[in-house]
Every structure is written in structure tokens, then in C-alpha cells.
Structure 1
Amino acid sequence: MTRVLVVDDSSTMRRLISAALSADPELEVVGEAGDPLQAREAIKALNPDVITLDVEMPNMNGIDFLERIMRLRPMPVVMVSTLTSRGAEATLAALELGAVDCVEKPGGADPIGFSRLAEKVKIAARARVRSRVARTEPTPVDVFTPSEKVVAIGSSTGGVEALLNIIERLPANCAPTVIAQHMPASFTRSFAERLNRASAATVTEARDGDPLVPGRVYVAPGGDFHLEVEGARHLRCRVAHGDPVSGHCPSVDVLFSSVARAAKEHAVGVILTGMGRDGARGLLAMREAGAKTLGQDEATCVVYGMPRAAYELGAVERQLPLEKLGPAIRNLTNKEVER
């Protein structure tokens, strides 16, 4: 039984969250708190396995409280956020700090809006949560000349921090890079902007028809869109509505499979932390087409699900800790290293 503490300044929202969680026989709501000060005492008294945490609250906002949790007593946290751009930006900051996942608040008193909350809380209970470690400055390469390769990256739970770690290590003229991260539709544009601020390259939300060129990183839009790579000599993004594949939209399998078809051996595939199997079959297709394939290792994953599935399927050529994936991608796409 997973014990959950619900933290939200709205009594109505606390009731909705508690009702959604209590409906699952594997979850027990052991307490509620209306602000971080009450939550701090509740954590000491109740020792919950997981916390659901509102972003904006009185006395101390959720981001500041989360930072203290991750610094002093790391534990699984699922953020509960509004759909506003401000809420999205704050939630992304929380995921970067170490929150396991996020869920959108429903627009009204509608518990259906929390249909995936119980699932996310159960995943969080199994996640590997550690004190946030300051990221080290990347070691620059003397010369980087992009080869003709394209990089495809897939991630889910824990992917925000992992992707930041990798993207900030890419050179300004990096190989064209496409990303599928499981994320709500309202968050992907803010996430692309956040990556762009941390990167020497230019990061944008992918648009249909965008040409794949060096120095650009393209993030799949969330919601009911899939991102694919198409073309022969000149590759471009294809962004189109679609049904979930491998349980997700955007799907990592869809992205990787398209890269296998379009780029063949001129590609690098990378699968990062996440729950489930999305990306395993697509990464195998990339490897069978001649692409280089990398997987994040278990020790540095928040959830070692997607990389495990890909590794067990034979899709992963090399497993590496998170901090070594960025340099590995640089080396595999650097024409100077190939010479």
C-alpha cells in the first residue's frame, strides 16, 4: 500500500485529489495539508511514500518547498498544476528540481480530470529519487563539425532533468536533433523554450515541414500529435494528429521508426528514463537499419522502464550514465572524430 500526502491550498481540490487516489485499492491518502508549513509537519508525523504538491500556495510556493524537500529529505513528488503558461513554467522548474511527474488540474470540480493521477503516484512510489546534484560544466571538444547524422531522443518520467543535462552539452552547431518527451500539450512549448535557454543550439517546438539542419533541436508537440522524420536527401519534420501508439502521443516508437526509415545508418538513437516500453521497438528498428543506439543506465534513471525494455530487446548498443550521454552523442556526430 502506497501512503500519500495531498498538499493543496484549496480544500475542494484536496477533496478531489483524495477521492481520485482513494478509489485505487493500492493507494492510501494518509493526510492533507493546506500549505507547505502544514505539509512539513505532516511529513514528519506521517512519513508518506509520495506527496502530491500544488505549485502556487500561501506562505511558501510549491517550487521553494520542493527545493527544500529535495535538498533535505528527497522523496517522490507529483506536481499538480494549472494549464496556464505560468503554471507550465513552474511545473517544468519543479521537474528539473527532481519532481517525478506532473498532472494537470481539471478545469472544474471534475474528478475525471485526474484520471491518470493514481497511475502517476504509483509510478512515483517506485521511482529512484535522489538529492539534486549540481550539473557540471560540459567539457568542450576542441573542434566540432557536424556529420550528416540526425539524433533522435525519447524520454518520459524523469526526462525533463535528463534532457536538460544532455541538451546543454551539445555544441551550437550540433547535429539536427529530434525529441519525443511524454508531456501534456500545454507544456511542450514552454519546455522547448526552457531547453533553448540552457542550450548553445536553437531549441523549438517542432512544426510540420521544418527542415532538419545543424544547430537545431526539435521537440515534439504534446497532445494528440506525433513527430516523425521524413524525406530522402533533405530530411524534415512531419507533425500530424494521430492516435496513441505504445500508449502515448507523441510516441517515441513512432519517432524512432521514422528515423530508421529516413536516415538509416546516418542516425543516433537515445532512449532515456521513463515508464513502460515506448521506444523499444523503434530503437531496435534504428539499430537494425545501421544507426548507433544508446540507453541511459539504471543507476541514473528516475524510472528504468523504457531503457530496460529497449536493452532487453537488443535495441541498445551501449548503456551509459546520464552525464556521459551528452559527450557520447557529440562524439558520434562529430565529423572530426570520424577522421
Structure 2
Amino acid sequence: MKQIKVLVVDDSPTMRAIIRTYLQRDPEIAVIGEAGDPYEAREAIKALSPDVITLDVNMPRMDGLEFLEKIMRLRPTPVIMVSSMVGEGAAASIEALAIGAFDCVAKPAHGNPGEAFTELAGKVKAAASAPRGMLGAGMRHAPAETDFRPNGHIVAIGASTGGVDALFSVLSAFPANCPPTVVTQHMPATFTTSFAQRLDQNCAPQVSEARDGALLEPGRIYIAPGGIAHLEISGTRNLSCRLVQGEPVSGHRPSVDALFRSAAALGPRAVGVILTGMGRDGAQGLLEMRQRGARTFGQDKETSLVYGMPRAASEAGAVERQLPLNAIPAAVLDCCQLESRMAR
């Protein structure tokens, strides 16, 4: 069995030891080297050719984000960022994902690395399988034409690993008067605040974290708060956001399945989109949407950083049309405007 070669980059010897310990519990992973700063890491990358790199956001001698940009530009390699969950650390993690990091994990809080690194080995294995051509290959679009005329539809979008860049691509193409759009992106708690702020700065519509009871209005995009509650659509005429406390659904909180199932109640008034991500979350909920008359779209394999969630949804019969990422915004908006040109 060929093992996945990992380079651990962190200025703390203790943290490097913790990461090494948790990764090497998986027989498919081998930690082949460690580095305490980007200059040591650069030499280690040349000498060891790792398959995956774990990288601390806050590094001595060179900022972790600057080093990440150099990796993506000069020697694209899957990078998993390790960061504080709050404040500047959360904002830096969102910036890292936009630059091209494969994923982020939060540093342990209160000396409990087990909880923080539960998914680290799985993310390393997924990163090792990611298409190299997709790393750091963010796509952006000009906002849609200003004559967009909404027809009262609601858009629900779900994403996981690779979703930060995919959502930037889709949502930056939406016009200022876009249909009300609700988004569940798998992300650690507190990261979604920075994510929503970053989207708001780069998109024509107004983007914010969802608040319980917030009315769904045109020109607004609502992001599910990470790790806190499920985001659902509530109501029949005057629709609003509902944050539901509860156990994880399909292994996640917030869950894409929970969002899609609530959107299914809207029938043909809803449009569902499932983007890149690991696992199956969203497949059953999207199927329920389609069965109730909603239009449903999935990101194709060629443009997905991780073709897990879209594949599961497609195999379940939940996806009406599978499209490359850059074609999704136009298809969604066409369903949501008067005199739609799209035939079923």
C-alpha cells in the first residue's frame, strides 16, 4: 500500500508532535517531515516532495498566507491550514481557502486535540486525491445583467470541501437583485462570520450570516452559521430563516440535507444546487426537492475539487442537470426570472 506523504509545518514543536501523532494513527498516512517556518518548509518540499502539507496560518519569518500563495504559484500541492478558530485566525483561514488551500482545521481549544483533529486524517486523504489542476484555480464572474427580473423563486445551495472558492464563483455572478439565496457550507464555528463578510465585499447582493427569523428578501444571501444550528426555510408566503438546534444530520451541523428538505416544501418555487464536497450530505434532501417539483443542479466532476456530494446526489437521481461550475450561475438565474428560457 502506497502511503500519503505529509509534511507538517508549524512553529510549535508541541503542535507538530500532536499533528504527527494523530495522522500516523492512520496506516495510509506517513508524516515524512516537519518544518518550523516557511524557509525550512521550502527546503523540505524540494527534498521530500510531499503529497499534502499541513500549514499553520501564523508562521515566523514569512506569513503563512504569503507562503501558501508561493506554493500555489510555484509548486501546487494540497495544503490543509491549521488555524485558530476566532478573530484574525478565522479571517486568515477564509483568505487561505480563497488563495487555494484545500481545507482548514481549527487548532485545539483547551488542550483537547482529539476533538479538533477528528477529521484531519480524512481531509488529508481527500486532499491527496484532489486534481492538481484544481488547486488555487479560483473562478470569478462579472455580475449578471442588471435587467434580471426575479419571479419569486428561492435558491438553496449546499457545499463542503472546496466550497469556499466554488461559492465565490457562483455568488459573485449573482446580480444585486438576486433571488433570496440560502447557503449551507460545512465550516467550523466562527469561520462563517468571516466568510460572509468576505463574500459581502466581493458580491453585488448583500451577504450575511443567517439570523433566526430573518425574512428572505431579494438581493440577500444568507449563510448558515458554522457548527451551531441547522439553517432551514420557514413559512409559506413570507419566508424566513429558521435556525434549528439539534443533533447533526447526515453527520453535519449545519446540514445541507436539513436545508434542502425545508426547501422541498416550496415545491416548484425552489431551486437547489449542490457543489463540491466530501460525503453524501445533501443528496437525499435534493432528491426530495426534485420530487416536489424544484429545479436541481449539481457541479460536475471536472470542476469539483472533491466530487463526493455532487456524485452522491447524481447517483440518487436528485440532480436534474449536472453542469461545470462556470455554467451554474446562469442556469440558476434563468430559472428564477420572468420569461425563463430554460425548458425542462
TM-score tier by shorter-chain length is over 0.9
> Which residue of the other structure, out of 315, 319, 324, is the alignment partner of 1:321?
324
Contact kept? 1:173, 1:215, Cα under 8 Å: yes
Residue in 1 that maps onto 2:130: 127
Q: State the alpha-carbon separation in 2 of the partners of residues 5 and 108 from structure 1.
A: 25
Kindly report which structure 2 residues correspond to 1:70-89, keeping only aligned pairs within 5 A, or say none.
Answer: 70-89=72-91
Contact kept? 2:272, 2:295, Cα under 8 Å: yes
Q: 1:134 to 1:323 in 2, by over 3 A?
A: same
Kindly report which structure 2 residues correspond to 1:1-339, keeping only aligned pairs within 5 A, or say none.
Answer: 1-112=3-114, 113-130=116-133, 131-133=135-137, 135-138=139-142, 140-141=144-145, 143-261=147-265, 263-337=266-340
Contact kept? 1:135, 1:165, Cα under 8 Å: yes
Could you state the TM-score of these two structures normalised by the residue count of structure 2? 0.95
Contact kept? 1:203, 1:216, Cα under 8 Å: yes
Mark the runs of 5 or more structure 2 residues left unpaired by the alignment.
none
Identity between Structure 1 and Structure 2 (%): 57
Q: State the alpha-carbon separation in 2 of the partners of residues 202 and 89 from structure 1.
A: 19
Residue 11 of structure 1 deviates from its aligned partner by 1.0
Contact kept? 1:281, 1:310, Cα under 8 Å: yes
Q: 1:228 to 1:134 in 2, by over 3 A?
A: closer
Q: Deviations over 1:253-274 (max 9, x none)?
A: 010010001x111111000000
Contact kept? 1:129, 1:302, Cα under 8 Å: no
For 1:315, what is the secondary structure of its paired residue?
coil
For 1:298, what is the secondary structure of its paired residue?
coil
Contact kept? 2:100, 2:137, Cα under 8 Å: no
For 2:253, what is the secondary structure of its paired residue?
coil
Q: 1:133 to 1:115 in 2, by over 3 A?
A: closer
Q: 1:33 to 1:97 in 2, by over 3 A?
A: same
Q: 1:139 to 1:233 in 2, by over 3 A?
A: closer
Q: 1:108 to 1:17 in 2, by over 3 A?
A: farther
Contact kept? 1:16, 1:109, Cα under 8 Å: no
Contact kept? 2:231, 2:258, Cα under 8 Å: yes
Higher mean displacement: 278-287 or 119-128? 119-128
Contact kept? 1:172, 1:200, Cα under 8 Å: yes
Contact kept? 1:297, 1:307, Cα under 8 Å: yes
Amino acid at match of 1:71: R
Residue 141 of structure 1 deviates from its aligned partner by 2.4
Could you state the TM-score of these two structures normalised by the residue count of structure 1? 0.96
Amino acid at match of 2:106: E
For 1:268, what is the secondary structure of its paired residue?
strand
Mark the runs of 5 or more structure 1 residues left unpaired by the alignment.
none
Q: State the alpha-carbon separation in 1 of the partners of residues 220 and 202 from structure 2.
A: 13
Q: State the alpha-carbon separation in 2 of the partners of residues 223 and 264 from structure 1.
A: 28
Q: 1:142 to 1:179 in 2, by over 3 A?
A: closer
Residue 155 of structure 1 deviates from its aligned partner by 0.1
